[in-house]
């Protein structure tokens, strides 16, 4: 009887041990994968490329999600800031995208914190403004965004562009719709300027010939006459 009891205890212990071992082996395979940011902001390179792609595609709702804002900034202002930043970057951004870190932890820069990354410089005529990304928590994960330090300077930088006040007077599609990275209104302006430039050149040419004609007719050579016929 005592022997049977000992065998029963050993059998139960063995079954329990095997159950625990099987459970331990299953746990790693059943562990949930780490959340992935659907916007690709897990790395500095993914964040800056994602913003540029969304902005160039005129998807400013999506582009705005790559920017860090102060609390209380509404959707409309977020979209407009994203659009303005694109306009500034199109003209003044200096960056080497192939050298931007593709590591989730970013690169080590002595003059920045561990959660910051410099991805380029906006070169204005009188100063250079660094474009800083910041790693921030969002929806249970950490993502990279263009830092609020940079975002806050966007309105002032945009006002320094050549045509911001003029663009306010134009229909919105002429400003937001782009072809080869230029707003449609600029293409229309180029088309309008070409005939004007041609007419101006013709007028100047005629005026020069008109003023020189009396002088050239006084010379005995025929080369002067040929020059007037050009």
As a whole-number percent, the residues of the chain with pLDDT over 70 amount to 69
**195 vs 182: CA distance, rounded Å:** 20
- Whether residues 7 and 86 share a domain: the answer is no
More confident residue, 185 or 187: 187
Domain that holds residue 135: 44-161
- Whether residues 146 and 180 share a domain: the answer is no
pLDDT confidence of residue 32: 67
Look at the alpha carbons of 185, 186, 191, 195 in this order and tell me if their dihedral is positive or negative. Answer: positive
- What is residue 181's three-state secondary structure? coil
Q: How many domains does the chain have?
A: 3
In a domain, 133, yes or no: yes
In a domain, 38, yes or no: no
Residues comprising the chain, all counted: 230
The region of weakest confidence among 6-15, 87-96, 140-149, 158-167 is: 6-15
- Whether residues 213 and 186 share a domain: the answer is yes
- Whether residues 192 and 139 share a domain: the answer is no
Element (H, E) at 116: strand 116-123
Query: Which of 21-30, 44-53, 89-98, 189-198 shows the highest mean pLDDT?
Result: 44-53
Identify the band that residue 3 occupies on the pLDDT scale cut at 50, 70 and 90.
Answer: very low
In a domain, 22, yes or no: yes
In a domain, 198, yes or no: yes
- Whether residues 175 and 219 share a domain: the answer is yes
More confident residue, 159 or 175: 159
- Whether residues 16 and 101 share a domain: the answer is no
Report residue 102 as tokens: 């593709």
> Closest Cα partner for 138 from 46, 38, 222?
38
In a domain, 37, yes or no: no
The region of weakest confidence among 3-17, 73-87, 92-106, 205-219 is: 3-17
- Whether residues 134 and 222 share a domain: the answer is no
- The average pLDDT across 14-23 equals 49
Residue 179 has pLDDT above 50, yes or no: yes
Residue with structure tokens 């063995």? 14
In a domain, 114, yes or no: yes
Identify the band that residue 35 occupies on the pLDDT scale cut at 50, 70 and 90.
Answer: confident
Question: What number of other Cβ atoms are within 10 A of residue 56's Cβ?
Answer: 14
- The average pLDDT across 12-33 equals 52
Q: Where are the alpha helices (DSSP H) in the chain?
A: 2-30, 44-56, 60-63, 75-92, 148-151, 154-159, 164-168, 172-176, 184-217, 223-229
Residue 168 has pLDDT above 80, yes or no: no
- Whether residues 94 and 178 share a domain: the answer is no
Q: Using one digit for the tens of pLDDT, what is the confidence trace for 115-134?
A: 999 999 999 988 999 999 99
Question: Domain end: 136, 161, 186, which one?
Answer: 161
């Amino acid at each position: 009887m005592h022997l049977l009891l000992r065998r029963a205890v050993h059998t139960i212990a063995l079954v329990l041990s095997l159950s625990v071992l099987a459970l331990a082996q299953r746990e790693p395979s059943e562990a949930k994968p780490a959340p992935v940011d659907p916007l690709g902001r897990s790395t500095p390179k993914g964040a800056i490329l994602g913003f540029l792609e969304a902005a160039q595609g005129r998807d400013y709702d999506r582009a705005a999600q790559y920017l860090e804002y102060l609390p209380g900034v509404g959707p409309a202002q977020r979209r407009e800031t994203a659009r303005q930043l694109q306009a500034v970057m199109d003209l003044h951004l200096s960056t080497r995208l192939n050298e931007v870190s593709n590591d989730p932890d970013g690169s080590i820069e002595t003059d920045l914190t561990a959660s910051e990354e410099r991805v380029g410089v906006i070169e204005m005529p009188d100063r250079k403004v660094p474009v800083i990304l910041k790693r921030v928590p969002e929806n249970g994960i950490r993502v990279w965004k263009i830092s609020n330090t940079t975002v806050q300077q966007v309105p002032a930088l945009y006002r320094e562009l050549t045509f911001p006040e003029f663009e306010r007077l134009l229909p919105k599609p002429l400003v937001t719709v782009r072809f080869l990275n230029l707003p449609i209104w600029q293409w229309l302006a180029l088309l309008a300027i070409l005939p004007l430039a041609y007419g101006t050149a013709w007028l100047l040419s005629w005026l020069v010939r008109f003023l020189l004609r009396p002088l050239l007719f006084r010379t005995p050579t025929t080369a002067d006459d040929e020059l007037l016929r050009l």
